Amino acid sequence: MHTKMRLVGAAVAGAVLLPVGASSTAFGQSAPAGATAARGCVSKLPDSAKAQTDRVTALIQKLEGQGLSQERIDAKLAADYCLERVDGGGSELSTLGNPDQEIKLGKPIIYKTSGKDRYIAAASWKWKKLPKNVKGYDAFALSFSKKVTPLAHSLVYRGNGTFYGKKTMTQAQTSNAYGAGFIFNEGPRKVNIYQQKIDMQGYQGLMGISFKASKKGCWGLQAFSKYGHSWKSSSATGITIGKSSIGVTWTNYSNKWQQASQPSKEVEVCRRG
């Protein structure tokens, strides 16, 4: 079975459209910047796009785990790593649809690296509560509204307690000019009968894509993410990425659901050459 969601365009069967009144800038208008790197900032990040993407995704999740607000995370990334938040800032958590009220997805965030025509888009999830049904392979993906030149991608996920440490994936199931997606085992659940605690290895996670504009000039760009959850006899087996669309292929029609984030605010991405 294959199901697909689209963010923009004409309404079609299974489409996911931005609701009337949802927070977003119109195409052609650039959102105001969030945290800005100081002039002359010297980044602590490695120059390699792959190493940089791996480091930033791991760092954001680490700072989130320390309880920092998105504003404080943006400020630290700007001060120490010269990353400028260009999608307007903020830490809105919003979803299109909400299966069983179990999971929340943040609007993707977009940073520009200092002194380069390079950007990093990041999207995250966090379970509101541990689901009763696990053991299937889940999917998480990020898609853009315009073609980009992808440079690297990374997925970092972990549990909510001490049972499961950080896991990192750098080999995407699917990657093209419109985004990338990963398939991973979000379970199993683990129970500590003495402490009466339950955890699972994919309780929270964050995905990052490093990219450049696809050609010379400046372009308006939005991003959105999608989580596909399965259990029992069902699993995600494939992902398709298109213009503002993410499709997930499943082993069967039952024991699964999927949920999309709201789109990021539109940003202007530029490439000088």
208: pLDDT strictly greater than 80: yes
- For the chain, the average pLDDT equals 81
Q: Which residue type occupies 65?
A: G
174-191 pLDDT, tens digit each: 999 999 999 999 887 777
pLDDT bin (cut points 50, 70, 90) of residue 96 is low
Whole-angstrom distance, CA of residue 154 vs CA of residue 51: 10
- Greater model confidence, 212 or 28: 212
pLDDT for the residue numbered 243: 96
Mean pLDDT across 62-90: 89
C-alpha atoms less than 13 angstroms from C-alpha of 34 in its C-beta half-sphere = 27
How large a percentage of the chain has pLDDT more than 70?
79
- Greater model confidence, 217 or 190: 217
pLDDT bin (cut points 50, 70, 90) of residue 100 is low
pLDDT for the residue numbered 193: 67
pLDDT for the residue numbered 103: 87
Whole-angstrom distance, CA of residue 209 vs CA of residue 233: 31
253: pLDDT strictly greater than 60: yes
Highest average pLDDT, of 85-94, 172-181, 251-260, comes from: 172-181
Any idea what the Cα angle at residue 145 is, between residues 143 and 149, rounded to 5°? 75
- Greater model confidence, 149 or 41: 149
- Greater model confidence, 137 or 3: 137
Mean pLDDT across 243-267: 92
pLDDT for the residue numbered 18: 33
pLDDT for the residue numbered 33: 46
Highest average pLDDT, of 45-49, 184-188, 223-227, comes from: 223-227
When mean pLDDT is compared across 16-25, 204-213, 246-255, 256-265, the lowest value belongs to: 16-25
Q: Which residue has the tokens 């298109």?
A: 242
15: pLDDT strictly greater than 70: no
Residue 263: CB partners within 8 Å, gap ≥ 6? Answer: 7, 8, 18, 24, 107, 108, 145, 222, 223, 224, 244
pLDDT for the residue numbered 225: 95
pLDDT for the residue numbered 173: 96
- Greater model confidence, 129 or 154: 154
53, 58, 69, 72 from 44: Cα distances, Å: 13, 14, 21, 18
The interaxial angle of helices 70-81 and 49-65, nearest 10 deg, is 140
